[in-house]
Amino acid sequence: MMKDVKINAYQFLVLVIFFTIGTSILVIPSNLAAQVKQDAWISAIIGTAIGLLIVWLFCTIAQWFPNLTYVQIIEKLLGKWIGIAVSILFILMSFLYTADLLYQSGTFLNIHAMPNTPMAALNILMVMIIIMGVRQGLETIARSAEILILVFFILFIFLVIFVAPEVKFENIQPVFEVDTKAIFTSSFFYVAISTINAVVLLMIYPAFIDKSKQAKTSFIIGNLIGGIIIIVLTLLCITVLGPDRTASEIYPGYELAKNINIADFIQRIEGLMAALWIISLYFKATLYFYVSVLGLAQILNLKDYRPLTLPLGMIAVALSLILYPSLVFHREWDTTTGISISLLIGLFVPLMLVVAYHIRKIFNKGRNE
């Protein structure tokens, strides 16, 4: 199924960058600052380093079976029935996070842009665009990302330049005020949001990439670039807003843009931050949804995943409206249940596959002898 679909290594790099950034540019700074105050940027650096190790693990697993998607790899290593059960959990995680991102986009737009518009309408509009992209296929998604990455970086550079005059480095002092254990603990939330969930990209890499060796480099570099952007933004939030305000704000990155004031002429351009976030969130949500419908289609042995897009899209909208009763509940869910799900599906399962692969390898070697 879809063996003729191919994207190049650069397009995959762009998709990895968008996936790594995703919602992180708005929510990561506040969560880290709430735990480790002005040392949040250090926690982001540590999280990025740990994330690179996890990406290396993902690449290792993918290269064992370069022509198979992740669902197919799971079934091959764990057997048909156990493999299907684990694959269903993997697909459910991806689908749950699709609904989660719909909730986040709808909430943000409802609060800051269109307060009189029902959240259901906003989520329906977003899922329609996501479905449209997924139905067009991976190649179209990758090409659009290739174009919009230029827009993203231009807006990000403008944001950094315009907010630079407001930076106060005394806000990050004293450095290492909290203990090292707290810094490492807080970095796990960052890793779960930006890197561990990138296990869904194994449904694309390397089966649908024309040069898998270059794609491995793209996976690692893309995660690193995304991590650097989050580090820079976290540092800006701490140095401009201060650690206490960063921790108390729901979307500190958005509040950061409100502080821009160049000669009383260039000011209140928080639309820059909103555009950055919506672009990256769209591609992350689209990749989650694409993986959900493709994985389900492979389990059901369907020739085409497209018939699944509309019904699953409707279910995702419904979930986005009923899963989280409030922003406070959502934030608590992200830092508890959300992390547990990510660690289980995104880290424990890959490690289990590593064990299964080497057991099969030893067994086959012994049988051949």
Domains of the chain: 9-368 (1.20.1740.10)
- The pLDDT assigned to 88 comes to 93
d(CA 85, CA 156): 42
Q: What is the mean pLDDT of residues 267-296?
A: 84
Percent of all residues in the chain with a pLDDT value above 70, rounded to a whole number: 94
Residue 357 has pLDDT above 80, yes or no: yes
Indicate the pTM of the whole model.
0.91
Q: How far is CA 221 from CA 31, 196, 214, 215, in A?
A: 25, 16, 11, 10
* Torsion over CA: 207, 208, 210, 211 (sign): negative
- Integer-rounded Cα radius of gyration of the chain: 21
- The pLDDT assigned to 261 comes to 62
* Torsion over CA: 94, 100, 105, 108 (sign): negative
Say how many residues make up the chain: 369
Q: What is the mean pLDDT of residues 26-45?
A: 83
Query: Average pLDDT, whole number, for the chain?
Result: 85
Asked if residues 230 and 28 have their Cβ atoms less than 8 Å apart, the reply is yes
Residue 368 has pLDDT above 80, yes or no: no
Residue 249 has pLDDT above 70, yes or no: yes
Nearest CA-CA partner of 299 in 68, 87, 5, 2? 87
pLDDT tens per residue across span 116-167: 888 889 899 999 999 999 998 889 999 999 999 998 888 888 888 888 888 8
- The pLDDT assigned to 267 comes to 58
